[in-house]
Amino acid sequence: MNKKILFSTLLLSVIALAGCSKPNNGNSESIRDDYKLSFIAPSGAPTIAFYDVASEGMLTTNSVPANVGAQLQNDLYDGVVFDFYNGLKSIKNNQCDYELVRIITGGNFYLVGFNKEEVPTKDDYIVSFGQNLLPDLVYKSIYGEEIAAATKYVNGVADIGGIMESGLHNGNQVDYVLVAQPVLFSKLSSSPIKSQLKVVASLRDEWFEKTGQTAIPQAGLFVNKTKYSEHTSVFNGFLDEFEDAINTCIEDPATMKAGIESVGDVEAQKALFGFTSTVAYNVQKDNANGFALVSSEDHAKLNIQDFLNALGKTQENYDDYINLY
C-alpha cells in the first residue's frame, strides 16, 4: 500500500470536515498553531533531523535510551524516536498505540581501539552501549559469541565518550569501545588521549561485507496512532517537513547548522541535541553524511524484513506495526 496516498486521503477528509477551522494557506507552522506536536528522542545522531523545529519546543531528549523507549507504552508524546527493532518489539508485545513511520539513521557506529588496530579477541577489554539494542545486535552478529561474551556495557553512547577521555572503565584499562557519531568525531578531536584512539572498523562497512546490505536500519520515528487520527493535517505537514529536513542535513549542512544554533548557545545545543552545531556540521560537511541519515531515495529502497532476516530474526514479523511514510 502506498502510505502517502493513504495519508493524503485522510488529509482531504479532515479538510472537508473542518471548513470553519483556521485556514492553512500552505503554511505548516500555522497548522501547528492549533496543535503543537511533541517528540522525545535519545540524545545523539537522530535528533539532527529535528534541527528545524527544535527551537519551537517540540523536541525533548534523554541521554538514557531506555527512558525514551519506555515512552512507547505511554501516550505522553506524539512521536517517539527509538531503536527501530526494539521499538517494534515493545509495540507488539505491549500493544502500544504507536507505529513506525520513518527510519532516520542507517548505521553510524564504529569500533575504536586504544592503541590497537587489529580485530579484537575474547581476551580484550571491550565496552559497548545499550545492551541488546540494535547497534549491539549488529555488533554481536558481526563479531560472534566469544567477543560478545567478553563485552561490558554502559547505558548510552555518552558514557562511551567518557571512556574515550580516560581510557578506563570501572578502573580497568579499555582495549576497545563501540561508539556512534557524533561522539566519535568529538572525542577524536578533543580527548586528552586522542593519540591513542584508532578507528578499527565501521560496522556499516562490516555489515555490507557480511550481508551485501548497504544500510543498517537504526533509529526510527514512531507516531502515536490515535493522536495522528485526531490531528492528521498537522502530522502530515510535519512528516513532509521531516523528510525535507533529513535531506537538507545530507545535502546542505550549513542550513542544518543554523537551525541547531537557533536553540541557543553551545551549552543549550549540547543539552538538547547532545552535540553542538559545529560538530554536526563537521560530521556532515563535504557530503560525508557521518550521521548516516537515510535519504528519501535510500528510504524507498529499505526492506526491513530482509534486514531482520540477515540479523537472524527470520521468525519475527512486524508488518502490522509499520506504516512507512
Helix or strand holding residue 144 (H, E): helix 134-149
SS3 125: coil
Q: What is the pLDDT of residues 227-267, one digit of tens each?
A: 999 999 999 999 999 999 999 999 999 999 999 999 999 99
Dihedral sign from CA coordinates of 249, 254, 260, 263: negative
Q: Could you tell me which of 165, 194, 193, 199 has the C-alpha nearest to residue 180?
A: 199
Q: Mean pLDDT, to the nearest integer, of 117-125?
A: 95
Would strands 151-154 and 126-129 be described as parallel, antiparallel, or unpaired? parallel
pLDDT the model gives residue 146: 94
Domain boundary among 180, 211, 242: 211
Q: Mean pLDDT, to the nearest integer, of 118-130?
A: 95
**Same domain for 90 and 9?**
yes
| Separation CA 114–CA 88 (nearest Å) | 35
- What total number of domains does the chain contain? 2
**Same domain for 55 and 117?**
no
Among the ranges given (15-24, 183-192, 242-251), the one the predictor scored with the smallest mean pLDDT: 15-24
**Same domain for 91 and 229?**
yes
| Separation CA 186–CA 194 (nearest Å) | 10
Q: For the chain, give the mean pLDDT.
A: 90
pLDDT at 30 over 70: no
Query: Looking at the DSSP assignment, which residues form a beta bridge with residue 223?
Result: 79, 99
**Same domain for 94 and 168?**
no
**Torsion angles phi and psi, residue 199, rounded to 5:** -75, 115
What's the grid cell of residue 186?
568529538
The confidence band for 34, taking pLDDT boundaries of 50, 70 and 90, is: confident
Q: What is the CATH classification number for the domain harbouring 56?
A: 3.40.190.10
**Same domain for 96 and 241?**
yes
Q: What is the pLDDT of residues 153-182, one digit of tens each?
A: 998 899 999 999 999 999 999 999 999 999
Helix or strand holding residue 304 (H, E): helix 304-310
Domain boundary among 211, 226, 248: 211
What's the grid cell of residue 111?
569500533
Neighbours of 110 (CB within 10 A): 22
Q: Could you tell me which of 241, 224, 244, 242 has the C-alpha nearest to residue 232?
A: 224
Q: What is the CA radius of gyration of the chain?
A: 20
The confidence band for 21, taking pLDDT boundaries of 50, 70 and 90, is: very low
The confidence band for 274, taking pLDDT boundaries of 50, 70 and 90, is: very high
Query: Is residue 70 within 8 Å of 209, Cβ to Cβ?
Result: no
| Separation CA 59–CA 186 (nearest Å) | 23
**Same domain for 12 and 96?**
yes
Q: Mean pLDDT, to the nearest integer, of 143-162?
A: 94
**Same domain for 95 and 240?**
yes
Query: Looking at the DSSP assignment, which residues form a beta bridge with residue 221?
Result: 81, 102
What's the grid cell of residue 180?
556512534
Q: Is the peptide bond before 135 cis (omega within 30 degrees of 0)?
A: no
**Same domain for 102 and 8?**
yes
- Dihedral in degrees, nearest 10, Cα atoms 130, 108, 318, 235: 110
pLDDT at 272 over 70: yes
**Same domain for 246 and 292?**
yes
Q: What is the pLDDT of residues 59-78, one digit of tens each?
A: 999 988 899 999 999 999 99
Q: Percent of the chain, pLDDT > 90? A: 86
**Same domain for 247 and 157?**
no
Domain boundary among 211, 232, 250: 211
Q: Percent of the chain, pLDDT > 70? A: 90
**Structural domain of 190:** 109-211
Distances (CA, A) of 6 to 13, 232, 296, 300: 11, 11, 18, 16
**Same domain for 149 and 289?**
no
Query: Is residue 135 within 8 Å of 231, Cβ to Cβ?
Result: no
Contacts of 271 (CB under 8 A, 6+ apart): none
Helix or strand holding residue 186 (H, E): helix 183-190
| Separation CA 150–CA 32 (nearest Å) | 49
Reported in sequence order, the residue ranges of 15-58 that DSSP labels E, i.e. its strands, are 39-42
**Same domain for 88 and 230?**
yes
